[in-house]
Amino acid sequence: MTYLRWLAAVAAVVVALTLQVSLFPHVAWHGIVPNLCLLVVVAAALTVEAPFALVLGFVAGVALDLAPPADHVAGRWALALTVAAFLAARVRQDQKPTALAVVGTVAASSFVATSLFALSGVLLKDPAMSVGSLLEVVLVAVVWDVLLTPFVLPPLMRLFARLSPQWATS
Amino acid sequence: MRGFGGQDGRERRWTGLDKLESRNRPPRSLLVALVLASITLVTLDVSGGGSSPLEPARRAVGEAFGPAESAAAAAVRPFTSVPAWFRSKGDLADEVRDLEASNAELRGKVELAGFDRNRLEQYDGLTSAAEDLGSALVPARVVAMGSRQSQSFTVTIDAGSDAGVGPDMTVVNNDGLVGRVLRVTRSTATVLLIVDPDSTVGGRVGSSMEIGFVTGSGSLKEDAGLDLRLVDDASVPSRDDTVVTWGSSTGPYAPGVPIGTITEVYSSLREASQRAVVKPFVDFSALDVVGVMVPSGAASDRAIIEADGSLR
């Protein structure tokens, strides 16, 4: 069951990453696209046990860092998505999260992940960007992620819950 | 504990808490380990510089994702052209008027071209008499674009080392300079756009032949433009002047590729240099077909457009 779950999670990350770089640039707002990989990680953090979600966050982040056309310093998305997974796993209550809780978690994780990525860029000067454009990127990214939540999160959460029966019943 | 409604309620609460403990508390040790792993990756990549130890990993991941991105882009392409079908007659009439205007403008330029060509010939004769600039274009399509969240302006194109593309080659489209190739896999290549803040192109102002450096502004908005700094602070670039690449035999950009037109000029007293805003010819938010400049006669898996316009 664990292997199956890993397989499903990695497949979800691959599909999310491909759509993120190939489909969504066509509808992007000033180049800002929804972060589908983050949505996959949050869905995992809200349904299955935390270690799995944390490692999935790291794996998705490394994929974002290395898959073309990425050219930033590798490890920055890995750091951001690991922390986002940690936060999402902490926010979760011990019952099926309500729709509002899911949207709130996505918004918070998106804000934290994009900000962490931007801050690491400021620290590494990779590249140096103005605060105004950073804020614009972070806020628009949060709006994008929240907009896509109703379409992406429910099927993913159902998938993860079905593949981990020990939590599916609660 | 009395407040929770007697024995039964307390029992339930305890089992609940038990589950809460096991499920809701992410292990801090794992978080610390993964964060440290991320920082290790960052350190490796930063200290490695150009020959980063992560380049083989990038290449391996690129080999895996490249075909997927190409396939996804091919599947999406029919749908992205749908909005073009729904254009009204008014839009088309406007477009015809615009095209007529630019046509007239171009005709005016052609009438002046003889003079420019003479000057260009003189210049070319002086500097690169022996050099054969004949290069060929490998056609490619943009299959993936980096997001603004990732803060880098890069795209993936569907031509790689199999098509004869290699690092540091110049990428153009029919409007002008697009960027340069950063790294290649077998079927794809990553291109750094000239709007990226990390990108610096040697530029030459068309009318005065003054050289300078064109830096990306980090924005896809057309009016943001590129930043031109001239080396000679005594010369003032003029508005509406064309900037072309300066180019060198060792650098990545081929000479003479049009970059954009100067829209604004500032002189900075403090830095004692001239700064100009260059509006690129290429619309970076709607990149599709591009060409990679390869040496003439290079081996490729697809038809190459040679310098004289023939397909091979």
Separation CA B61–CA A14 (nearest Å): 11
Hey, what amino acid is at A73?
V
Q: What is the 3-state secondary structure (H, E, C) of B80-124?
A: HCHHHHHCCHHHHHHHHHHHHHHHHHHHHHHHHHHHHHHHHHHHH
- Check pLDDT > 50 for residue B247: yes
Separation CA B258–CA B242 (nearest Å): 7
Provide the shortest C-alpha distance from residue B178 to chain A (in Å).
15
Q: Which of B12, B40, B148 should one mutate to test binding to chain A, selecting the residue with the greatest count of A CBs within 10 A?
A: B148
**ipTM (interface predicted TM):** 0.83
Least confident piece of the model among B85-94, B111-120, B159-168: B111-120
- Check pLDDT > 90 for residue A80: yes
Hey, what amino acid is at B81?
S
- Check pLDDT > 60 for residue B291: yes
pLDDT number for residue B307: 65
Percent of chain B having pLDDT more than 90?
Answer: 5
- Quick one: tokens of A158? 């159902």
**pLDDT band, very low/low/confident/very high, at A160 (cuts 50, 70, 90):** confident
User: Average pLDDT, whole number, for chain A?
Assistant: 86
Separation CA B189–CA B159 (nearest Å): 6
Residue A29: HSE in the Cβ half-sphere, 13 Å Cα cutoff: 12
Contact A70 B65 (CB under 8 A): no
Separation CA B194–CA A105 (nearest Å): 37
- Check pLDDT > 80 for residue B125: no
What is chain A's length? Answer: 170
- Check pLDDT > 90 for residue B241: no
Closest partner residue to A94 (CB to CB) among B20, B65, B219 is B20
Calculate mean pLDDT across residues A5-28: 89
Contact B156 A83 (CB under 8 A): no
φ/ψ (deg, to 5) at A114: -65, -40
Q: Which of residues 105-164 of A touch B (CB under 8 A)?
A: 114, 117-118, 120-121, 124, 126-129, 133, 137, 141
Separation CA A25–CA B285 (nearest Å): 9
Least confident piece of the model among A145-154, B53-62, B260-269: B260-269
Where in chain B does DSSP place strands (E)?
135-145, 154-157, 170-172, 177-184, 189-193, 200-205, 211-215, 226-230, 242-245, 258-268, 273-280, 289-295
Render pLDDT for A45-62 as a digit per residue (tens, 0 to 9).
888 888 889 999 999 999
Q: Model's pTM, two decimal places?
A: 0.78
Dihedral sign for Cα B52, B300, B178, B113, please: positive
- Quick one: tokens of B90? 């008014």
Name B203's Cβ contacts closer than 8 Å, sequence gap at least 6. Answer: B211, B212, B213, B214, B228, B243, B244, B245, B246, B259, B278
pLDDT number for residue B222: 67
**pLDDT band, very low/low/confident/very high, at B272 (cuts 50, 70, 90):** low
pLDDT number for residue A39: 94
Name, of A54-63, B11-20, B240-249, the range with top average pLDDT. A54-63
Contact A69 B68 (CB under 8 A): no
Name, of B68-72, B115-119, B122-126, the range with top average pLDDT. B68-72
pLDDT number for residue B5: 43
Percent of chain B having pLDDT more than 70?
Answer: 75
- Check pLDDT > 50 for residue A169: no
Provide the shortest C-alpha distance from residue A131 to chain B (in Å).
13
Provide the shortest C-alpha distance from residue B29 to chain A (in Å).
10
Q: Are B153 and B196 in contact (CB under 8 A)?
A: yes
Separation CA B99–CA B88 (nearest Å): 17
Q: Please indicate whether residue B24 or residue B241 has the higher confidence score (pLDDT).
A: B241
Separation CA B265–CA B239 (nearest Å): 7
- Quick one: tokens of A134? 């950073």
Contact A128 B145 (CB under 8 A): no
Render pLDDT for B146-195 as a digit per residue (tens, 0 to 9).
888 887 889 999 888 888 888 888 888 888 888 999 989 988 999 999 98
pLDDT number for residue A145: 92
Strand pairing report for B177-184 and B170-172: antiparallel
Closest partner residue to A82 (CB to CB) among B34, B185, B196 is B34
Render pLDDT for A124-142 as a digit per residue (tens, 0 to 9).
877 666 778 888 889 999 9
